[in-house]
Amino acid sequence: MTKQTDNSPFEAMDRMYRVQRHFYDLTRKYYLLGRDRLLKQMEIQPDANVLEAGCGTGRNLIILGRAHPEARLFGLDASQAMLDTARSKTNAAGVRNIKYMTALADEFSYEQTFDLKRPFDVIFFSYSLSMIPSWRDSIENALNNLEPDGSLYIVDFYDLSGLPVWFGRLLRWWLAKFHVYFRPEMIEHLKSLQSSGRYHVAIAPQYRGYSFIAMVTKISE
């Protein structure tokens, strides 16, 4: 497990979000498009174990917690500061079925990190993979922590191809300041999971290429 040193992803994310977390939800509302669409689209059974990797302020989990009061919801994040905000927002919202843990997306395990007896039914990433350098290992780790019939969902930035060129340049420049990148190779990687014959993969661009929603399900043998 990665130690919480000054150069660790834990400390880097705390530095980035220590102040931002106080106005994060208000500002991101306008440009993390497609999150609510994903939350409505996810199939969640009443007794499901659901994990958001890179859950930030808990905004998505609180919405899910209200919609699925019987489900067991979990959030992990590299930033302890973000999770402090997530816990206080969750308490203020009166949502009781969410547990948060400080952990990295490419390292967690359902047993050791969350003390669970079985893997997750659903794992999702909402605008987190675009800022995780180890995105490939994070996807693999998520798939390894899913039930055989579980589902992985991703919502994140896409290629901006349907939008004006100047807008795309401006947005990419702005996002790079926060170490956030659209990764064409991640889309290729998701497609290669489909070609492996072990997964069914559906990738749907939305908002004229602003973002995409992907769903990955294991094909049972």
Please select the residue that binds ligand SAM; options are 114, 120, 127, 153, rule is CB under 6 A. 127
Q: Give the residue nearest to ligand SAM (CB).
A: 56
Single-letter amino acid code for the residue at 136? R
Residue 189 DSSP label:
H
What's the token pair of residue 25?
């939800």
Phi/psi at 46 (5° precision)? -55, -35
Instruction: Work out whether strand 146-157 and strand 199-206 pair parallel, antiparallel, or are unpaired.
Output: unpaired
Q: Does the protein bind ligand SAM through residue 62 (CB under 6 A)?
A: no
Q: What stretches of 68-119 show up as alpha helix (H) in DSSP? A: 80-93
**Which 10-49 positions form the footprint of ligand SAM (CB under 6 A)?**
13, 17, 28, 32, 35
Please select the residue that binds ligand SAM; options are 62, 131, 139, 193, rule is CB under 6 A. 131
**Which 104-123 positions form the footprint of ligand SAM (CB under 6 A)?**
104-105
- The alpha carbon torsion through 97, 100, 106, 112 (nearest 10 deg) reads -80
Q: Least distance from C-beta 219 to ligand SAM, angstroms?
A: 27
Q: Does the protein bind ligand SAM through residue 65 (CB under 6 A)?
A: no
Nearer to ligand SAM, 134 or 194 (CB): 134
Please select the residue that binds ligand SAM; options are 51, 64, 132, 139, rule is CB under 6 A. 132
Strand ranges of the sheet holding 199-206, from the earlier edge strand across to the other edge: 98-102, 72-77, 49-53, 120-126, 146-157, 211-218, 199-206
Q: Least distance from C-beta 151 to ligand SAM, angstroms?
A: 17
Please select the residue that binds ligand SAM; options are 50, 51, 54, 113, rule is CB under 6 A. 54
Instruction: List Cα–Cα distances, 20 to 24, 57, 214, in angstroms.
Output: 5, 10, 28
Closest CA to 191 of 182, 203, 183, 206: 203
Q: State the binding string over 138-177 for ligand SAM (x if CB under 6 A, else -).
A: ----------------------------------------
Q: Least distance from C-beta 220 to ligand SAM, angstroms?
A: 29
Alpha carbons within 13 A on the beta-carbon side of 51: 31
List the beta bridge partners of residue 80: none
Q: Does the protein bind ligand SAM through residue 59 (CB under 6 A)?
A: yes
Residues that bind ligand SAM (CB under 6 A): 9, 13, 17, 28, 32, 35, 53-56, 59-60, 76-79, 82, 104-105, 126-128, 131-132
